[in-house]
Amino acid sequence: MEALRDFLDQKVLEYQRPEFLTSDPIQIPHRFVKKEDIEISGLLTATIAWGNRKSIINNALLMMELLDQAPYQFVKDHTNKDLKSLRNFVHRTFNGTDFTFFIKALQHIYAHHGGLESVFTSNAEAKSLQNSIAEFKRLFFVLEHPKRTEKHISDPSRGSAAKRINMFLRWMVRDSAAGVDFGLWKSLHPSQLSCPLDVHSGKVARKLGLLSRKQNDARAVQELDASLRYLDPEDPVKYDFALFGLGVFEKF
């Protein structure tokens, strides 16, 4: 296990570098300085982060343009007339109807629940944020909403690996020293995070003996969490960089 830890630690150093931002959706929130702008742009970008990476980035940039390059101000102060500009947005199955509701739900969260950090923190457990994700989804959809939009936020309590929300939480919580993640949410700790499990990280994790479950689901996330916490209990999700880099860039 020591040899594996040393190998993965080296890969973390190799791939947790600002140079990789040019091909990663995390570049979108890096365009902003204000905490709320980073949070909102990060959540919206993570929400559409499936499929071709270039397409994800281009459509996330379009989202920011539609929000007048001021996502928090748009969320806070928008009118029904402002929302009309979002109608024609499309990224795969996420469309203008979904986008419009996301803005309304975010307005509700910032106006009545203290913002995104507060919502996730209030439901956090000592070693997991998976219950926080489930409660976030419940709260997100308390307003009247199109049923179709529910599919765009995953729920670990219903068996989902919740890859995109786990990725968003990594962005917000992990330390910013490496110039990649933001370390914005001081009320949460990296030890509570779970690895954003997808086809690339799952394949590599299985090859390395960190994961045996074949499905990329909530139970697989729990198993991978246990393996990564053994390697580094304080910052287990740093290994996301190693697993993703090995899978995507090295075809491991």
pLDDT (tens digit per residue) in 22-56: 899 999 999 999 999 999 999 999 999 998 999 99
Q: If we measure between CA atoms, which residue out of 230, 234, 232, 154 comes closest to residue 197?
A: 154
For the ranges 13-22, 83-92, 100-109, 221-230, the lowest mean pLDDT is seen at 13-22
pLDDT per residue as tens digits for the range 204-242 = 999 999 999 999 999 999 999 999 999 999 999 999 999
CA 131 to chain CA mean position, Å: 15
Question: What is the DSSP-derived secondary structure letter of residue 160?
Answer: B
- Give the residue extent of every domain in the chain: 2-248
**CA angle 26–31–33, rounded 5-degree value:** 110
Question: Among 212, 170, 175, which Cα is nearest to 195's?
Answer: 170
Q: What is the DSSP letter of 128?
A: B
pLDDT tens digits, 158-213: 999 999 999 999 999 999 999 999 999 999 999 999 999 999 999 999 999 999 99
Token code pair at residue 234: 């304080």
Which 3 state secondary structure label does DSSP give 94?
Answer: strand
Q: pTM for this structure?
A: 0.96
